[in-house]
Chain A
Amino acid sequence: GEDVEQSLFLSVREGDSSVINCTYTDSSSTYLYWYKQEPGAGLQLLTYIFSNMDMKQDQRLTVLLNKKDKHLSLRIADTQTGDSAIYFCAESEGAAGNKLTFGGGTRVLVKP
């Protein structure tokens, strides 16, 4: 079945860039997503990328997709303390009912 893997933890200094990595196994993935979960809250969709793209930029967020290696990354520029959260990578196959498969999440801690 599908599998989505992420590293557990990332520590970064305020003002630096953060890079969160994700690997997936389903070669038929159509869309890949990044969600953010702050303490005591549900998940919030940050951005997503269609599988025929290799990059998408949205303000401080840059998503890179290497489809050959099945590797997805999220870069956060000028990381702020409000960026401290758990970040989830997810993938879906549009033709198969849009079921999402989530990774285990990367906890990002931003130090002042």
Chain B
Amino acid sequence: ETGVTQTPRHLVMGMTNKKSLKCEQHLGHNAMYWYKQSAKKPLELMFVYSLEERVENNSVPSRFSPECPNSSHLFLHLHTLQPEDSALYLCASSQRKQGRAEKLFFGSGTQLSVL
């Protein structure tokens, strides 16, 4: 148990569906992240929420929409996805401090399959 909980663990959706991934951290951290893990690519940072600031990877398509209502909860809203979006989506949190090591705590991930 890492203190970062993701739901659901598995999700199968059609290309016209709308779904949301949820992440909750119980560690009192001040930053939360979404990462995408595909079979043949390095781990890809999608979004960072830190101290109410959102930082995003400009290559992430607009069909992925993050929401961070407070420092403990993070969502990833999905709509009109493509089959190539099938991957493991990992949430992480950390206690960010400039100049210090970036120690990420990861959830177990949501395995997403887009049909």
Cβ of B98 and Cβ of A42 under 8 Å apart?
no
B109's contact among A4, A42, A50, A94, by CB below 8 Å, is which?
A42
> Chain B: interface secondary structure?
loop
Within 8 A of B (CB), among A6-48: 30-31, 33, 35, 40-45, 48
Report the interface size for chain A: residues with CB under 8 A from the other chain: 25
A100's contact among B2, B104, B108, by CB below 8 Å, is which?
B104
Chain A residues with Cβ under 8 A from B96's Cβ?
A: 98
Chain A residues with Cβ under 8 A from B91's Cβ?
A: 42
Q: How far is the CA of A95 from the CA of B6 in the complex (A)?
A: 30
Cβ of B90 and Cβ of A31 under 8 Å apart?
no
Cβ of B2 and Cβ of A42 under 8 Å apart?
yes
Chain B residues with Cβ under 8 A from A88's Cβ?
A: 43
Within 8 A of A (CB), among B55-112: 55, 90-92, 94, 96, 98-109
**A42-B90, A42-B108, A43-B90 given; A104·B101 CB < 8 A:** no
Q: Give, as a whole number of angstroms, the nearest-CB distance from A109 to chain B.
A: 17
Chain A residues with Cβ under 8 A from B43's Cβ?
A: 43, 88, 102, 105
**A4-B42, A103-B42, A104-B42 given; A42·B92 CB < 8 A:** yes
A residues neighboring B (CB under 8 Å): 4, 30-31, 33, 35, 40-45, 48, 50, 88, 92, 94-95, 97-100, 102-105
